Structure 1
Amino acid sequence: MALKLSFACWDYDRVKAIEDGRVRPEGIELYFLNYRVEETFFRQLRFHEFDVSELSLSSYTLTLNKEDPPFIAIPVFPSRYFRHQSIYINTKAGIKTPQDLKGKRIGLPEYQMTAPVWQRGIMEEEFGVPMTSVTFFSGAVEPSAIERTSKIPHSLPEGVTVTAITPDQNLSQMLADGEIDALFTAYKPSSFDTSDHVTHLFPNFREIEAEYYKRTKIFPIMHVIALKRNVYEANPWIARSLQKAFAKSLDVAYEALAERSALRYMLPWLEEHVEQTKTLMGDVRWWEDGFEENRHVLEKFLEYHHKQGLSKRRFKAEELFAPNTLEAFVL
């Protein structure tokens, strides 16, 4: 009899075949719950509602600080994103280059959020903007958003200042009004479309991100798939079964992108975009799960996470995952 497990995740193209049942993990009956990431993260981190779920890489890593970590991950990464393009500035703040961020007021939804971890790390390492050289303000990006508070307690390194905005404030409007000078986020603030004073830090972000990838081979990981640790410990085999199912589902997503008889997606020049991506990131697979393939990305993230005061120690990449999922396999 198959083991019944709940699985909360957004319905990305790379998991769609699992959601609709075209791919089924061996020995497991998955009950797919299609939630936006904010709901999944909140409910799982606060209440441990789901047997398997998508989780923020940073939040998941924070849980490893606990004596008895509640989750254990598998090397499957449903969300990846270059984040240079998600840094916004007020054009009146005198910011012409990344180095001009020094001394500025920077908003972010949560200090521990994965996107700002990458953004702070890149700004410091690549452009010489230390975290201690700016002042951070945290809270809701939009007026309609719920008040942002960290889902997991964490510390701050010496010299780093984070001030919570008030419930009647929002970072998008604060950026437009010049109350903050820049915004590190995962979301495009609405003021980008409504204010003449909000723009990208990197207007040519595609070229900047392409150069970053060519030089580092890092395609930043945002989210990971995590299992409740007690469920995993009672059934260690499920980690490998799920890993194989996600690999098959990823194959299905690649097949859909390659289809040319009719457009599967509402993008008229999809083929050109795919070819450009392959030229930059690899002729076959530019989005790849697995441990060894992503060790360098994970190690860089863990370096940033620890330096930013979020990890109690510098975790090794291997410590993030179920031991039986570290080795490659052939489908």
Structure 2
Amino acid sequence: MSIPIALACERYDRTEALRDGRVTPAGVDLTYLPQPVEETFFRMARFREFDAAEMSLASYVVSLTRDAPFVGLPVFPSRMFRHSGIYIAAASGIMEPADLAGRRVGVAEFQLTANVWIRGLLADEYAVPVESVSYVTGGLHTPGRTEKVPLHLPPGIRVEPLGPGRTLDEALATGEIDALYSPRTPQSFTSGDRGVRRLFEPARPVEEDYYRRTGIFPIMHVLVLRRDVYERNRWLARSLYDAFERARRLCVAGMDDTAAARYMLPWLHDEVARTRALLGDDYWPYGLEPNRQALRTFLDYAYAQGLAARPLEPEELLAPETLESAIV
């Protein structure tokens, strides 16, 4: 008899085989609920609605040092370099990272994983301490966004909400805030507003250099099981991990198919070759060991920024059943 599992996860090429049924987890009757990541994160963190879900790595780390309602699997559905997620109000006069010190910077939520990476790399690479900036929280394009779970930040970190009825996008375009850290591109930037620009432009050379020096392809999201679901059937952790890995491998194999264009990108094969030349053939791995350095760096950032109540080791994030394979 299969265990029914409701999984909330965005639609990705690397998970499509799970959604369409080409891959089925052993012993699991899987219902794949495709929905936007913000909805999944909010509903899982606030109400724990799903048996399993894609989750913000930062929110998971916050939860792990509190009541620990979730158990992580070494499946990382989303990764992204984040130098490109720093936007500047042209009127602010900010020309280089050091100019951010003392400024008001918008963040949809302080705990967003992208923002943890941005604050960490600015501190590590450009000597912009986390506490040197004043943070303003709010919705990017819709007013009223708040933190998914309450935070208990060190007194040196200043966070205030944006005024009612205002959005961060508007505040950036009008100069009410000096900069914005955001995983989503603000509409003012995509519409060509000349009052908004990226701090790093072009961002790709800076991000490529970052990878060459650090070997880190930043992890954004992690797969979690609700702890009560995991404790009833601990074998689910390995079953889901193995299925996600099979789906990922199908996706990787499909990227090399040039008989017909899978995506509306005429030079996709060139982009794949360029990416592999820099990041290696298996540049989006699951599992602990190939991701240890990225996880270790993120955990250091989360603790330094007051999100984790104590230092954590990468192994503490993940179900032990997913860390070893049987010897045959």
Q: Where on the TM-score scale, by shorter chain, does this alignment land: which range?
A: over 0.9
Residue aligned with 2:201, SS? coil
Residue aligned with 2:105, SS? strand
Asked whether 1:45 is paired with 2:54, we answer no
Asked whether 1:210 is paired with 2:202, we answer no
Whether the 8 Å CA contact 1:291–1:327 is kept in 2: the answer is no
Aligned to 1:18: 18
CA distance in 2, matches of 1:52, 1:146: 29
What is the TM-score with the length of structure 2 in the denominator?
A: 0.97
Whether the 8 Å CA contact 1:10–1:37 is kept in 2: the answer is yes
Aligned to 1:294: 291
Residue aligned with 1:116, SS? helix
**Deviation, structure 1 residue 146:** 5.3
Asked whether 1:277 is paired with 2:289, we answer no
Residue aligned with 1:258, SS? coil
CA distance in 1, matches of 2:88, 2:324: 43
CA distance in 2, matches of 1:133, 1:29: 50
Asked whether 1:92 is paired with 2:91, we answer yes
**Deviation, structure 1 residue 327:** 2.3
- Decide whether aligned partners of structure 1 residues 179 and 326 sit closer, same or farther in structure 2, where only a CA change above 3 A counts: same
Map 1:133-212 → 2, pairs under 5 A: 133-142=132-141, 145=142, 147-192=144-189, 193-212=191-210
**Deviation, structure 1 residue 157:** 1.7
- Decide whether aligned partners of structure 1 residues 227 and 131 sit closer, same or farther in structure 2, where only a CA change above 3 A counts: same
CA distance in 2, matches of 1:69, 1:25: 25
**Deviation, structure 1 residue 134:** 1.4
Alignment RMSD (CA, Å): 1.2
Whether the 8 Å CA contact 2:143–2:166 is kept in 1: the answer is no
Aligned to 2:254: 256
Indicate the larger mover: 268-277 or 86-95. Answer: 86-95
The one-letter amino acid of 1:60's match is: Y
Aligned to 2:318: 321
- Decide whether aligned partners of structure 1 residues 146 and 22 sit closer, same or farther in structure 2, where only a CA change above 3 A counts: farther
Indicate the larger mover: 245-254 or 188-197. Answer: 188-197
The one-letter amino acid of 1:45's match is: A
CA distance in 2, matches of 1:322, 1:167: 42
Residue aligned with 2:14, SS? helix
Structure 2 gap ranges (5+): none
Whether the 8 Å CA contact 2:144–2:165 is kept in 1: the answer is no
- Decide whether aligned partners of structure 1 residues 267 and 74 sit closer, same or farther in structure 2, where only a CA change above 3 A counts: same
Q: Deviations over 1:27-68 (max 9, x none)?
A: 1110010111011111111111110100000001111122x4
CA distance in 1, matches of 2:143, 2:55: 19
CA distance in 1, matches of 2:165, 2:316: 41
CA distance in 1, matches of 2:217, 2:164: 34
CA distance in 1, matches of 2:326, 2:212: 27
The one-letter amino acid of 2:103's match is: K
**2:235 aligns with one of 227, 237, 249:** 237
The one-letter amino acid of 2:122's match is: M
Whether the 8 Å CA contact 1:137–1:163 is kept in 2: the answer is yes
**Deviation, structure 1 residue 158:** 2.7
Q: Deviations over 1:239-273 (max 9, x none)?
A: 01111101100011112211110101110000010
- Decide whether aligned partners of structure 1 residues 239 and 194 sit closer, same or farther in structure 2, where only a CA change above 3 A counts: same
Whether the 8 Å CA contact 2:143–2:167 is kept in 1: the answer is no
**Deviation, structure 1 residue 92:** 1.7
The one-letter amino acid of 1:165's match is: L
What is the TM-score with the length of structure 1 in the denominator?
A: 0.96
Aligned to 2:70: 71
Q: Deviations over 1:211-254 (max 9, x none)?
A: 00011110110000000111111101110111110110001111
Asked whether 1:124 is paired with 2:116, we answer no
Aligned to 1:9: 9
CA distance in 2, matches of 1:47, 1:156: 23
Whether the 8 Å CA contact 1:54–1:223 is kept in 2: the answer is yes
The one-letter amino acid of 2:94's match is: I
Whether the 8 Å CA contact 2:57–2:219 is kept in 1: the answer is yes
CA distance in 2, matches of 1:328, 1:119: 35
Query: Between the two proteins, what is the percent identity of the paired residues?
Result: 47
Structure 1 runs of 4+ with >2 Å offset:
327-330
Whether the 8 Å CA contact 1:290–1:328 is kept in 2: the answer is no
CA distance in 2, matches of 1:167, 1:216: 41
Residue aligned with 2:261, SS? coil
**Deviation, structure 1 residue 329:** 7.2
**Deviation, structure 1 residue 166:** 2.1
